[in-house]
Structure 1
Amino acid sequence: MAPVARYTVLRLLVFFGCLSVGWLVGLRGFLLLIVAAIASTVISFFALNHFRQETVDVVESRVERRRERSKELREAEDNDE
């Protein structure tokens, strides 16, 4: 599984886990969603740090490759003129 997809799936699992725990504790409605969102953000920040960094590295390398390819294309166009 791609690092970006893996991180997204893990974040969703953490959120739904927090949602389930909140439901079992007795939270309902909008308050349940807010508490689950905040709790999952905090948990994901610490527990998924490795996966987040891996995702950032993949995205950065993609952006860098696109920049290089764009620069090469611009240079090729300039040379054609």
Structure 2
Amino acid sequence: MAVTVLFLGPLRDLAGVESREFSAPLDWEGLISSVAPEVAEQLRQARVNVACAGKVLADKASLNAQEGDEVALLPPVSGG
């Protein structure tokens, strides 16, 4: 099994896909090195959040996704 990474909003446009599977376990450095450079650049910004297994991580560098986990990459939301 693997970890499913969901690319949401503008990150989906940069990645060119809605989701992608990566080998488990997946940590922050593994994620950064596995995605396109344009996506990695966005992920490093403080305004982008990461959720793992349905919980937004307070520190995205603490990512430790295991087999079957879903990781959502959450771009900032705008609106009024």
State the TM-score bracket (shorter-chain normalisation): under 0.3
Q: TM-score, normalised by structure 1?
A: 0.26
Pair member with larger Rg: 1
Greater fraction strand: 2
Greater fraction helix: 1
